[in-house]
Chains A and B, each alone.
Chain A
Amino acid sequence: MRRIGLIFCSMVALLGCSGGASPGSALPPADPKSGGAATTLDDTSQAYGNSIRKLSDEQAGQFSLGHSVFSRAWVTAPATTDNLDGLGPLFNARACASCHSKDGRSAPFNDSGALLGMLFRLSIPGVAENGGPNPDPVYGDQLRPFGILGVPGDGTPRVSYEEQPGSYGDGTAYSLQKPSYTIEGWNYGEPSAELMISPRTGPSVIGLGLLEAVPEDEILEGVHGEADENGVVGAPNYVWDAEKQATVLGRFGWKANQPSTMQQTAGAFLGDIGITSSLFRKGTCSATMTACNAATSGADPDFELSDQSWQSVGFYMRSLAVPARRAVDDQLALQGEQLFSKFGCASCHRTTLHTGLADAEALSNQTIHPYTDLLLHDMGPDLADGRPDYQANGNQWRTPPLWGLGLLQKVNQHSFMLHDARARGFAEAILWHGGEGAKARENFRLAEASERDALLKFLESL
């Protein structure tokens, strides 16, 4: 295929068809390989679902099984599909792919307002033994709105939005939708009066193997002792690693509360689907949930997710390639890229990181463009969930990666962004930034329309 690619390139050159050939001042093309060697050219609605290249036969097999387990719906026990039974009894979703549709992010709610790709973390004041959030005594640390037949779910989350008008520096009006969340019909009694609820949408799962392979030192380089000229601090989260039985740097999740893809995976199986694993063997029914406790387990014999499935899903998530940046010589997008730095966005959305050694060749020693520093930042009161999560306080969120986000509309047919999917596209997402992101937001809000357009064009090209 390399040969064919070269033929195309020479043909393009010969025919003089290559775009962006304006003279002199033209900005040089950007690096399309956002994920280094772990980049895919796919820009279709399946763009997030491609494996990295150069997998060994064994790794290709793991990817196959991982994809299968990731995509398939778990079923009620007992079933002859006993490697896939044990759903719930309480759950948020039946499959990984429910919230991470096409390896991307599902819309938060469906057209009729019912929950789709969101979950709600719960806790009460205090700290659990491992330093993490203190779970509600009955409902635990996550709302499970659904149950298998005969087991009532915890309760039904509802959202309503209120439009908040605002305007750009040039007077152009915009509107942001401010969400309010309620939980209807708590089925196991009233929760603690001090219950804290943190709504979170499932992010896309591309490029996780690359992010996991960024050395800790390089992440910590992004930590400022005190605020820089843009007001940016950046703090690491330190979280409990259940495999290592130690407190380590957090990397994944909206609050960087997960140390590894493997723990993230096992945690999501338990909390979201109700599937126990060798890492998290205990189910999530609390003592007072009679039908939940009486339901048949899919345990085989001690837990439901086989180690082989767990390892495979973990590998699958690490080996999903990052879509290539598009429009790499589009002058407007390139101007937008410069503004991204000038406005201060890149202070947190670090444009370039490097990976060390990883378990697959294409992930190792790569220069990547994830647009994240993997650190926590105070994002101001408007985005705050008011719920601490290890070292993260109620105002802090981890900078999410931006790679591949320009394809969200194509893959998942929506452009909802931010931790609870309140923003309808890039512009609103920027306009919600507060706290450490306030200065960059104001630079964007007060910029000329042409500059705002350039910035958005850049983001759309990722």
Chain B
Amino acid sequence: MSVSARNLLPCLVLAGGLLSAGCSSDEGSTGASRSAVVANYSANLYRAYSDSADDAQAFQADITAFLADPTDATLATARDSWLASREHYMLTEGARFYDGPIDGTKENYEALLNSWPLDEAFIDYASKDGVVNEDVGIVNMPELLKDITAEGLAKLNGSDDEPENVSVGYHAVEFLLWGQALKDVGPGERPATDYALDGPSKNPDRRADYLKVAVEGIISDLSAVRDAWKPSASYRVEFEKGANQTKTLTNIFTGLAKFSKGELGSQRIGAAYESKHRHDQHDCFSSETLVDYERDAVGIQAMYLGNYRDNDGPGLDELVKAADPALDADLKKKLQASIDAIKDIPKPFEDAIAGDDDSPGRKKIQAALTALSEQGDAFGAAAHAIGLTIQVDPEE
């Protein structure tokens, strides 16, 4: 039978459904069962979100200490703590893009937690071209919000019913700790005295309230996502149900592929590479962008392998290996290659994106982009190998 290109598309569309309907055996003769892989994936994810929420609690303690005594030393501790508190969350990001608890509910916790860039002047004073405007932002406009509370912020944010909520989350806190990054290279230089009641800046008490409320928001949002992955939670029960196995595995691969190629590659690295604009990077206030990107890539690899911290459970790799060992080996190689490529980019990121395309930094970034793009495609091929159809850069 010859298959014309014209008829190829419906075949591909049909393939996933048919296989799940029993047109193919469920799994290879060796390796882990699909249900074990799915169960391990969600158990790891639940642990990672639990750790993230715990990290945020620990971070909150350092914020409390900083606000009680705002000095250069306590600010430095709070900043270090912010960076540390994001590690486990970054490892979860491969679980996006399939309408799961992190980004598939009405609240869109991902947007609440990790939106960037930020509307700085909506939050606090801002300067441009050396001119500081101390009268802008919710911090400096008590007439807009008398008491800075979570409800008040939500209301003000939502007052125009825009879907974006750019004044809360990790990056709002980052801004409140580091301030605007006004130099070409390096972090913002917000002084600790911004929070000192007798300091030179206006509204230190309101700024402190804002910081407190924003951190509380992170804890509460992370807790909500964590709870949706609890073993007894309805989302997780459905996710792990045998009848949903094809859909669940398709989701898992879709998340990993799209996060690799579309988000981490195209959006977080590619857009900044194109614009050469330092503020298109993920952590422009703290200048710690490359730490995030490496954690993201490590998280993707760990999800494929079924690993999280000390747990090395049955991973997606075992399913792929049983179907096509060469493809599995290739994907593993690519996952490591993209981590290595990101590590290879000279820090800080804003320096690396500058210059012409032959500059060492930009060449390294281009290499990371290529690696992530190939990794995304390899996830597509791996999914196909185990009878799934995912939609990353589909070929005929």
Pick the contact of A61 from B163, B164, B273 — CB < 8 Å?
B273
B136 contacts A65, CB within 8 Å?
Answer: no
Residues on B with beta carbons closer than 8 Å to the beta carbon of A312: 274
Residues of B within 8 A of A145 (CB): 160
Could you tell me the distance between the alpha carbons of A2 and B217 in the complex, rounded to whole angstroms? Answer: 47
Q: How far is the CB of B374 from chain A (nearest CB, A)?
A: 13
Kindly identify which residue among B120, B131, B160 contacts A79, using a CB–CB cutoff of 8 Å. Answer: B120
Cβ-closest chain A residue relative to B133: A78
Complex CA gap A98/B277 in Å reads 23
A228 at the A/B interface (Cβ < 8 Å)?
Answer: no
A451 to B281, CA, bound (A): 54
A42 part of interface (Cβ distance < 8 Å): yes
Chain B residues whose C-beta falls within 8 Å of the C-beta of A82 in the assembled complex: 128, 279
Which residues of B are found within 8 Å of A50, using beta-carbon distances?
391, 393-394
| B275–A79 touching, CB < 8 Å | no
Contacts of A11 in B (CB 8 A): 15, 23-24
Nearest CB of B to A402, in Å: 19
B284 at the interface (CB under 8 A from A): yes
Say if the beta carbon of A398 comes within 8 Å of chain B.
Answer: no
Give the bracket for the number of chain A residues in contact with chain B.
Answer: 35 or more
Does B49 count as interface, using CB distance less than 8 angstroms? no
Shortest C-beta distance, B266 to chain A (Å), equals: 4
Structural contact, B267 and A67, CB atoms closer than 8 A: yes
- Indicate whether A33 sits within 8 Å of B119 (C-beta atoms), given known contacts A67-B266, A115-B161: no
Judged by a CB distance under 8 angstroms, whether A335 is at the interface is: no
**A287 located at the interface, meaning its Cβ lies under 8 Å from any Cβ of chain B in the complex:** no
Of A127-135, A199-207, A321-329, the stretch lying at the interface with chain B is A321-329
Partner of B161, one of A69, A77, A116, A149: A116
The interface stretch among A15-23, A172-180, A374-382 is A15-23
Q: Mark B114-135, 1 if CB is under 8 A from A, else 0.
A: 0101111110001111010100
**Chain A residues in 8 Å Cβ range of B7:** 9, 29
* Interface pair A80/B120, CB less than 8 Å apart: yes
Contact across chains for A9 and B3 when beta carbons are under 8 A apart:
yes
Contacting pair A80 B99 (CB below 8 A): no
Minimum C-beta distance from B70 to chain A (A) = 23
Contact yes or no, A75 B384, CB < 8 A: no
Cβ of B389 under 8 Å from chain A = yes
Of A42, A110, A114, A146, which contacts B391 at CB under 8 A? Answer: A42
Return the CB mask of A1-33 against B: 1 if under 8 Å, else 0.
110111011111101011100000000010111
- Chain A minimum-CB-distance residue to B188: A80
Are A12 and B14 within 8 A (Cβ)? yes
A304 to chain B, nearest CB (A): 13
Judged by a CB distance under 8 angstroms, whether B18 is at the interface is yes
Are the C-beta atoms of A110 and B119 separated by less than 8 Å?
Answer: no
Flag if A17 contacts B18 (CB, 8 Å): yes
Query: Residue on B with the closest CB to A73?
Result: B164
In the assembly, what is the distance between CA of A395 and CA of B7, in Å?
A: 42
Contact, CB under 8 Å: B161 / A31: no
Cα A145 to Cα B14 with chains together (Å)? 46
> B271 at the A/B interface (Cβ < 8 Å)?
yes
Contact of A2 among B138, B267, B396 (CB under 8 A): B396
Q: Cβ of B270 < 8 Å from any Cβ of A? A: yes
Among B121, B138, B381, contact of A75 (Cβ-Cβ < 8 Å): B121
**Contact indicator A8/B394 (Cβ below 8 Å):** no
Closest CB in chain A relative to B362 CB, distance in Å: 12
Contacts of A18 in B (CB 8 A): 11, 14
Closest beta carbon of chain A to B391's beta carbon, Å? 4
Partner of B181, one of A40, A72, A80, A153: A80
Q: Do A80 and B12 touch across chains, with their CB atoms under 8 A apart?
A: no
Pair A79/B163 contact, Cβ less than 8 Å: no
| Given the contacts A15-B23, A75-B121, A324 and B393 also touching, CB distance less than 8 Å | no
What would 8 A/B residue contacts be, using CB atoms closer than 8 Å? A5-B11, A10-B1, A32-B9, A41-B9, A45-B104, A98-B164, A114-B160, A326-B13
Instruction: Give A contacts to B, CB under 8 Å.
Output: 1-2, 4-6, 8-13, 15, 17-19, 29, 31-33, 39-47, 50-51, 53, 60-65, 67-69, 71-73, 75-85, 87, 93-95, 97-98, 101, 106, 110, 112, 114-116, 145-146, 149-150, 153, 296, 306, 308-309, 312, 324, 326, 328-329
Beyond A2-B396, A60-B373, 5 additional pairs, beta carbon < 8 A: A10-B1, A71-B267, A75-B120, A149-B136, A326-B13
Ranked nearest first, the 10 interchain pairs of A and B with the lowest CB-CB distance are: A78-B128, A64-B270, A1-B395, A68-B271, A42-B391, A75-B119, A9-B11, A65-B274, A73-B164, A114-B161
